[in-house]
Chains A and B, each alone.
Chain A
Amino acid sequence: MSCAIEFQHVSKKFKKGEKFDSLRDFVPNLLKSLTQSGHQAPLKSHEFWAVKNVNFRIEQGEVVGVMGPNGAGKSTILKLLSGIMSPTTGKIHINGRLSALIEVTAGFHPELTGRENVYLNGTILGMRRREIDFKFDKIVAFSEVGEFIDTPVKHYSSGMYSRLGFSVAAHMDPEILIVDEVLSVGDVAFQSKCAQKMRELLKGGATILLVSHQISLIQSLCKRVLLLDHGQLIKDGATDEVMPFYQNITFKKNEEDFKNKLKADQARVDINKDLLIDITNVSFQGYDLTLPEEFKSGQPLGIHISYKAKREIVDPIVIIDILRSDGVLCCSLNSKESAMALGNISGEGSLKLIFKSLDLVAGIYLVKISFWDREMIHAYVVHNNSLLRIAADENHRMNNGVFFPHAAWTIEEAAEDYTLIGKTYK
């Protein structure tokens, strides 16, 4: 196998903020800097690295997924790859005919007919006219545009428009294909056709680079994943190995967003501060004390609650609810049901709840703690700004469903197979 794509210490710098993009600004500034003889250099616009020292090598015939949260540098890498931009430092080697399914309809002109646009878009993508002549019927058949091929594309539905664009790009027969979230074009039948086309290309020995946020798509197609964050390649390895890192990055991002939202809400609620009891602190304690913010599924978890009562409260009840980030109530624990009598409380104190094993799947959870009166008619205080993030690890890759039970698979003896079925249906 030979190398198809190689990135050697590739970095790309971008400028933030305003820049001179008119003579009206540029000429006076030029004159000023000349007359003031460098007295005070104009403030340099802020620069930042969109891609920083990225190294990787992709062999021919590999299918590699590129993942990362928004702003990780995925698009910049694709643009560097396709030659739209050149790197600030470093070298890129590409070996083979490269085609990118990024904006498949970018070359379309609405006034021209489908036929004219097939030729126009095809040549923009780098095909020869003769090549398009040869493939024209296949392109039209694949796009399912049919008899509308001689109608100006401005009259096309958006589906027809993008199908025709995809169809042209898919018939380039590239050796290296870059796919950026375009498989969502068209209906289910067309999508399966696209997947079929990709498999065909794969069989022909093509190298594919797939950029997507869809974990299941990456898992089903790619054996290797490049994980980017803040312009750096933070993980490069087998899909199963990299996926938990990706999930944890997105969870962390979600947690931050969530926290900010909660803070904003808190500010609004704070008006009514005259509470009888106040929850002063909530903290979580995980299994691994060296990692105070890492909680994993299937491991013990402790919740500490510190409170301060302004006067004596008779026999309160504490409820702890754990909600998933989309609002699903995952569990609700009640101090009354567990037959723990708090008795009358006053002044400062603290409580602790221990889960022997917290069997929730990886994700972000909201822990809501409330103190109620004995009859559970009104709440003294509701504390709902504690977030619990359960990290994904190598063993618990999928975060489908709500809980992650400890279950074990075994293969039964062959002889017992039929009796088992027999029993069930009796």
Chain B
Amino acid sequence: MGASNGKLKIGHDTMIQALKELIKYRDLLYMLTLRDIRIRYKQAVMGFAWAIFMPIVAVGAGILVKQAMSVVSGQPQDPHGIMSIAVKVLPWTFFISSIRFAVLSLVGNSVLITKIYFPRAILPLASTAACFFDLMISMVILTIVMIVMKLGLSIHILWAPVLILFLVLFTTGLGLLLSCANLFFRDVKYVVEVILMFGIFFTPVFYDANLFGRFKTFMLLNPMGSILEALNHTIVYKQAPDPFWLSYAGLWAMVMFVIGLSVFHNKEQLFAENI
């Protein structure tokens, strides 16, 4: 059911055209995001509490881990430590739930893919956008908590939106890539699930990369690690982010987004017959 004005030539076209097509269908992206949000909040009795349920549990787990570490090292926990857990857990939960929903977004909407024409990238994009909505809600709550706790702000917090943008680009690109992979190989979702489940141990979420001393670099090579650490630095420790790791994360985000979009676009034509 492709609506197309003017000449439409079906075949391989460039990524620019893919982006143009996505912009043309922006209302669909909005409606599908709204659908995902509505369904999530309609079915759950808890309503909007759903958005903060997982972050709260994760923050609780993080505090427990920190507490254990402070008991072992004999140093008391400081409020900054707790705060940095919250600051890192929220983007992390956004990342894992986005990837989880995006991976299933194509296969879960197989009826739409085999029956109706529209740019298929809308499906993983919408599920990521719905998760971003959850992130925004929990971020607002976090901001309120920070104000109440009088932790203070600095000019460096202006880096946060840039870092969030990197996070969103990276997540979106990876989500596009994995949703496409899961369509062709149905067991990709199990592999992804395992990686997401244990990824938290390989990423500085509950702990700081500094803990590893000179092996810190290895923690930051993980783009999620460098993004989360930079967020922590700018928001909690009120420092400017390390320029090298900032550009490293930015490069990852761009490259991942472009690769995700172009691979997705190249394989898009094969979806209907392979799903």
A125 touches B185 (CB 8 A): no
- Flag if A109 contacts B39 (CB, 8 Å): yes
B80 touches A (CB below 8 Å): no
Which residue of B has the minimal Cβ distance to A169? B1
Report the stretch among B30-38, B59-67, B164-172, B214-222 that lies at the interface. B30-38
Which residue of chain A is the closest to B2 with respect to CB atoms?
A83
- Size of interface on B: residues with Cβ below 8 Å to A: 41
* Complex Cα spacing A279 to B272, Å: 54
- Contact, CB under 8 Å: A106 / B39: no
Whether, in the assembled complex, B9 has its beta carbon less than 8 Å from a beta carbon of chain A, the answer is yes
Pick out which of these stretches binds chain A: B91-99, B110-118, B242-250: B110-118
- Number of chain A residues close to chain B: CB under 8 A: 45
Q: Which one of A86-94, A155-163, A202-210 is at the interface?
A: A86-94
When distances are taken between beta carbons in the complex, the residues of chain B under 8 Å from A26 are 185
Assess whether A85 is in contact with B115, with CB atoms less than 8 Å apart.
Answer: no
B39 touches A22 (CB 8 A): no
Q: Is B188's beta carbon under 8 Å from chain A?
A: yes
Question: Taking CB as reference atom, which chain B residue is nearest A109?
Answer: B35
Contact mask for chain B residues 80-121; partner A; CB cutoff 8 A; 1 contact, 0 none: 000000000000000000000000000000011111111000
Known contacts A97-B5, A124-B116, A126-B2; is-contact A83 B10 (Cβ 8 Å): yes
Q: Does A69 contact B (CB under 8 A)?
A: no
Contact yes or no, B273 A106, CB < 8 A: no
CB–CB B31/A106 < 8 A: no
Query: Which chain B residues in 13-59 approach chain A with CB under 8 Å?
Result: 25, 27-28, 30-32, 34-35, 38-39, 42-43
Please measure, in the bound complex, the distance between the C-alpha atom of A125 and the C-alpha atom of B7, giving whole angstroms.
18
The answer to whether A84 and B185 touch across the interface, beta carbons within 8 angstroms, is no
Q: Which of B11, B30, B114, B115 contacts A129 (CB 8 A)?
A: B30
1/0 per residue, CB under 8 A from A, across B167-190: the answer is 000000000000000001111100
- Whether the pair B27, A99 counts as a contact (CB closer than 8 A) is no
**B211 touches A (CB below 8 Å):** no
Q: Find chain B residues with CB under 8 A from A14 CB.
A: 273
* Set B1, B3, B30: member contacting A102, Cβ < 8 A: B1
**Residues of B255-275 contacting chain A, CB below 8 A:** 269, 272-274
B8 in the interface (beta carbon within 8 A): yes
Question: Quick check: B3 and A86 within 8 Å, CB to CB?
Answer: no
Measured between beta carbons, the chain B residues less than 8 angstroms from A186 are: none
Interface string of A98-135 (1 = CB under 8 A from B): 11101100110101100010011001111111000000
Given the interface contacts A23-B188, A23-B191, does A129 sit within 8 Å of B27 by beta carbon? yes
Given contacts A111-B39, A125-B1, contact A103 B115 (CB under 8 A): yes
- Interface residue? B4 (CB, 8 A): yes
Whether B269 lies near A82 (C-beta < 8 A) is no
Which chain B residues border A79 with CB–CB below 8 Å?
Answer: 272
Q: Are B273 and A85 in contact (CB under 8 A)?
A: yes
When the two chains form their complex, are residues B269 and A85 in contact, meaning their CB atoms are under 8 A apart? yes
| Pairwise interchain contact B27-A112, C-beta atoms closer than 8 A | no
Contact yes or no, B10 A87, CB < 8 A: yes
Contact A106 B111 (CB under 8 A): yes
- Residue numbers in A under 8 Å from B11 (CB-CB): 86, 91
Q: Does A172 belong to the interface (CB within 8 Å)?
A: yes
* Cβ B7 vs Cβ A93 within 8 A: yes
B residues less than 8 Å from A87 (CB atoms): 10
Does B38 lie within 8 Å of A82, measured CB to CB?
no
Q: For the complex, is A24 an interface residue (Cβ under 8 Å from B)?
A: yes
Given contacts A21-B185, A111-B39, contact A106 B10 (CB under 8 A): no
Cβ-defined contact, B185 with A22, below 8 A: yes
Q: Is the CB–CB distance between A126 and B43 below 8 Å?
A: no
Does A95 belong to the interface (CB within 8 Å)? yes
Q: Closest approach, in angstroms, between the C-beta of B117 and any C-beta of chain A?
A: 4
If A98-B3, A126-B3 touch, whether A23 touches B115 (CB-CB below 8 Å) is no
Give CA–CA (A127, B6) in the complex, Å.
15
B1, B5, B30, B113: the one contacting A82 at CB < 8 Å is B1
CB-CB contacts below 8 Å: A160-195 with B: 169, 172, 174
Which residues in window 1-41 of A have CB below 8 A to B?
Answer: 14, 19-24, 26
- Shortest distance from the beta carbon of B116 to any chain A beta carbon, whole Å: 6
Nearest B residue to A172 via CB reads B3
Contacts of A95 in B (CB 8 A): 6-7
Enumerate the 3 nearest inter-chain pairs by beta-carbon distance, A residue then B residue, closest first.
A126-B3, A83-B2, A83-B117
Interface residues of A (CB under 8 A from B): 14, 19-24, 26, 79-80, 82-87, 91-95, 97-100, 102-103, 106-107, 109, 111-112, 116, 119-120, 123-129, 169, 172, 174
> Known contacts A94-B4, A94-B7, A95-B7; can you find 10 more A-B pairs with CB under 8 A?
A22-B186, A83-B2, A84-B116, A92-B10, A97-B3, A98-B8, A99-B3, A106-B116, A111-B39, A127-B27
Sample of 28 A–B contacts (CB below 8 Å):
A20-B185, A21-B186, A23-B187, A26-B185, A83-B2, A83-B10, A84-B2, A86-B269, A93-B9, A94-B7, A94-B8, A97-B3, A99-B3, A102-B1, A102-B115, A103-B115, A103-B116, A106-B112, A106-B115, A107-B112, A112-B39, A123-B28, A125-B1, A126-B4, A126-B118, A127-B3, A129-B30, A169-B1
Taking Cβ atoms with an 8 Å cutoff, the residues of B that contact A are 1-11, 25, 27-28, 30-32, 34-35, 38-39, 42-43, 111-118, 184-188, 191, 269, 272-274
